[in-house]
Amino acid sequence: MPIIAVTGTNGKTTTVRLIAQLARTAGHHVAYTTTDGVYRDEELIEAGDYSGFSGAARALAQPGIDLAVLETARGGILLRGMGTDHNDVAVVTNVTEDHLDQYGIRTLDQLAEVKAAITRITQPEGWDVLNADDPRVLAMRRLAAGRPWLFSLDADHPAIRTTLAEGGRAISVLDGALVVMTSRRHAHRLLPVEEVPVTLAGISSYNVRNAMAAAAAALGAGLPEEAVVEGLRTFVLDPERNPGRANLFEVDGRVVVIDYA
């Protein structure tokens, strides 16, 4: 059963939900964990912050599942370690200052070291999906156990060129579309960014990155491209699918955004 672990300071929950959507679109029965709870397919099994060891254990124990997506927060890693001894895919979204001065973590480099833990238990034939636009995440390539799959808003990022030359992969934006790159000469078009609702037609750059990370993770886990494209097209920023994250409401003719509620 493929196991996908997701960490980072911001974007973890949305990326987990996106990956779960792509997997369900492909016909998988998915258990996943977030800071909101443990889910089996679209059913909430238990509410609460399950982004640590206990959440992973509960998700993996769900009957009838064939894929797991685990939000893996730095607090859970520091307090009890990780809930699995391996990943098939690891995703690191970013490392920012939000969670400093907790659990003895004082610097961004220390925080990056904690988050890098999930990349060190990736299967050798698996993929470590890393944000090339974040220098600390990009640096995780050096000790990552899996193969590198970078994501970046810059299709000509120097690290992408290096990674492709070494047999890795990348996903980026080129001519307004998400593209998967397997060599410098080959960029395979997935779909236009404007057709991915979570990106708000490309305005939400952080959700463009989340969508790229989710697509790379899903493809790296063996999901078919058709399901990945359809899943990206059908995941919307509503309170049912992504509660509290960039939810849009119209009130008295005005658009209201509820984010991180």
Q: In angstroms, rounded to a whole number, what is the distance separating the alpha carbons of residues 165 and 240?
A: 42
Q: In angstroms, rounded to a whole number, what is the distance separating the alpha carbons of residues 63 and 131?
A: 33
pLDDT confidence of 128, banded at 50, 70, 90? very high
Lowest mean pLDDT among 31-45, 52-66, 89-103, 175-189: 89-103
Residue bearing tokens 């060129």 = 161
> What pLDDT score was predicted for residue 114?
94
pLDDT confidence of 244, banded at 50, 70, 90? low
Q: How many helices (H) and strands (E) does the chain have?
A: 8, 13
Model confidence at 56: pLDDT above 90 = yes
> What pLDDT score was predicted for residue 247?
66
| CATH code matching the domain that covers 3-258, chosen among 3.40.1190.10, 3.40.30.10, 3.90.850.10, 3.30.1330.90 | 3.40.1190.10
For residue range 157-176, list pLDDT tens digits in order.
999 999 999 999 999 999 99
Task: List the one residue out of 194, 133, 168, 171 whose CA is nearest residue 10.
Answer: 133
Q: What angle do CA 56, 87, 158 make, to 5 degrees?
A: 125
Total Cβ atoms within 10 A of residue 107 = 11
Q: In angstroms, rounded to a whole number, what is the distance separating the alpha carbons of residues 128 and 143?
A: 11
> What pLDDT score was predicted for residue 79?
79
Query: Exposed, middle or buried: residue 234 (CB in 10 Å: 0-12, 13-18, 19+)?
Result: middle
pLDDT confidence of 35, banded at 50, 70, 90? very high
Model confidence at 68: pLDDT above 80 = yes
CA distances for 98 relative to 113, 161, 167, angstroms: 15, 31, 34
Task: List the one residue out of 25, 42, 32 whose CA is nearest residue 68.
Answer: 32
For the chain, what percent of residues have pLDDT higher than 70? 89
> What pLDDT score was predicted for residue 261?
45
Containing 69, the helix (H) or strand (E) segment is strand 67-71
pLDDT confidence of 250, banded at 50, 70, 90? low
Task: List the one residue out of 213, 224, 234 whose CA is nearest residue 14.
Answer: 213
Mean pLDDT of the chain: 92
pLDDT confidence of 254, banded at 50, 70, 90? low
> Which whole number is the average pLDDT over 245-258?
65
pLDDT confidence of 34, banded at 50, 70, 90? very high
Q: In angstroms, rounded to a whole number, what is the distance separating the alpha carbons of residues 140 and 34?
A: 23
What does DSSP say about strands 43-47 and 3-7: parallel, antiparallel, or unpaired?
Answer: unpaired
> What pLDDT score was predicted for residue 116?
97
> What pLDDT score was predicted for residue 85?
93
Model confidence at 255: pLDDT above 80 = no
CA distances for 84 relative to 37, 122, 137, angstroms: 18, 10, 21
> What pLDDT score was predicted for residue 246?
63
| Length of the chain measured in residues | 261
> What pLDDT score was predicted for residue 41?
95
Torsion sign over Cα 245, 48, 78, 68: negative
> Which whole number is the average pLDDT over 90-105?
82
